[in-house]
Structure 1
Amino acid sequence: MVSQLEAPVLDSNRPPYIVEGLVQVFTCQHRSFFANVIAQALRIAGQGTPVLVVQFLKGGIAQGCDRPVTLGQHLDWLRCNLPRSVNTPDLEDGEATSLLELWEHTKRVVAEGKYTLVVLDELSLAINFGLIPEGEVLTFLRDRPSQVDVILTGPDMPQGILDVADQITELRRSYRP
């Protein structure tokens, strides 16, 4: 007698199991480490994983939520629709509105499960400038889909963020005589 087993039909768009996403923090006092983070994002996107890179304080190129730069097929890169890069907590009303629109857009697309890796560049500065509330970021991290990895960057990362991070990478310069 021959028996026939029927294999379950798997959705090719979803893995058969879910791997818990990580919260990673990259921080340092100088601002020259983004290359390490973007290299990781490009490597992961090159393997077919959807990646979102959001730069909250970079502007000057009239980008915004509705005009992402797409690198390859799997990496979307957003910058705030600002006429300049932000280096102070003092924003004009239109600039503050643009930054908050980018934050709301980020929360929405992550909640929809569109991306597997999300890089939030210079988020610590946005928090420390009082532009994005730390409590909202903590809620975002807690409520994101469980399989989403999040990388947060910036100097002086708030302790509340560090407390929920799975991995903290602190880069520092070493001087050799």
Structure 2
Amino acid sequence: MVSQLKPVSLSSAPASLVRHPLLQTVEGTVQVFTAVHRNFFTNVMVQALRIADQGKAVLIVQFLKGGIHQGPNQPMQFGQNLDWIRADMPRCIHDPAVSPSEGEAIRELWAHTKGAIARGRYGLVVLDELSLAVNYGLIPTQEVVEFIQQRPPQVDVILTGPDMPDALLNVADQVTEFRRNILP
């Protein structure tokens, strides 16, 4: 018995023969962590550290934290897979009273974040207290929605902060609300 193999030309092969299902990009998710208080970041940080430890590049962006004169061009690096950046401003923001220079530092950080994500280096991006930056009028809600919809498909995004705008909740794949249960 003789058999002859006919080579398959990739240009004429059906698409189902060319693309293996395991080689396709897994689409990233959008998660929201929200609460009335601002002290649940530890839960998100644990998730980011776990993912970085597994070899995926992680970017943590803290929009309302300052005080260390860091800025977007001086990320803190934790190991080889976790970059952490804050706005270049002298203090942390706790209310809507933001000086013009602080507002500019937050907008600069937002522009830097969008560019870093568009370059595709990070597999997970944590946008800490983004809801407050939006609610304080520092970052437009629609711009965040468009960013989420247009990000590279493999990027997972975590949004945090109290009073998350409905427009951002509506684009999320998962919403986690932390509450305090007061037992009788």
Give the alignment's TM-score, normalised by structure 1. 0.91
Q: Which runs of 5+ in 2 are unaligned?
A: 8-21
Query: Would you say 1:153 and 2:150 are equivalent positions?
Result: no
Q: CA RMSD in A?
A: 1.9
Quick one: which of 20, 30, 35 aligns to 1:23?
A: 30
In the alignment, which residue of structure 2 is the partner of 1:135? 142
Misfit runs of 4+, over 6 Å: none
Residue number in structure 2 paired with 1:166: 173
Q: 1: CA distance between counterparts of 2:103 and 2:135?
A: 14
3-state DSSP of counterpart to 2:23: coil
Aligned to 1:10: none
**Could you list the runs of 5+ residues in structure 1 that have no partner in the other structure?**
6-14
Rounded Cα–Cα distance in structure 2 between residues aligned with 1:36 and 1:139:
27
Instruction: Please point out which of 43, 56, 75 is paired with 1:36.
Output: 43
> Letter of the aligned partner of 2:142 in structure 1?
G
SS at match of 1:160: helix
1:84 is matched with 91
Indicate the SS of the match to 1:118.
Answer: strand
Q: How does 1:59-98 map to 2 (within 5 A)?
A: 59-98=66-105
Asked if the contact 1:89–1:131 (Cα under 8 Å) also holds between the matched residues in 2, the reply is: no
- State yes or no: 1:52 paired with 2:59: yes
Give the Å deviation of 1:84. 0.4
Count of residue pairs brought into register by the alignment? 170
One-letter amino acid matched to 1:130: G
3-state SS of 2:83 partner: strand
- CA drift of 1:32 comes to 1.3
Residue 72 of structure 2 aligns to a residue whose secondary structure is: coil
Distance 2:152 2:121 in 1: 10
Q: Look up the SS of the partner of 1:150 in the other structure.
A: strand
Deviations 1:6-43 (A, max 9, x none): xxxxxxxxx83210000000000111110000000000
Partner SS for 2:28: coil
CA contact (8 A) 1:21 1:146 kept: yes
Structure number with larger C-alpha Rg:
2
Query: What is the identity percentage for the equivalent residue pairs of Structure 1 and Structure 2?
Result: 57
Give the distance between the partners of 1:77 and 1:22, measured in 2 at CA: 20
How many angstroms apart in 1 are the aligned matches of 2:28 and 2:87?
26
Distance 1:125 1:98 in 2: 15
More deviation, 165-174/90-99:
90-99
* One-letter code aligned to 2:104: T
1:49 maps to amino acid: K
**C-alpha displacement of 1:94:** 1.5
Amino acid paired to 2:96: P
Shift, 1:90, TM fit: 2.4
| Rounded Cα–Cα distance in structure 2 between residues aligned with 1:154 and 1:24 | 12
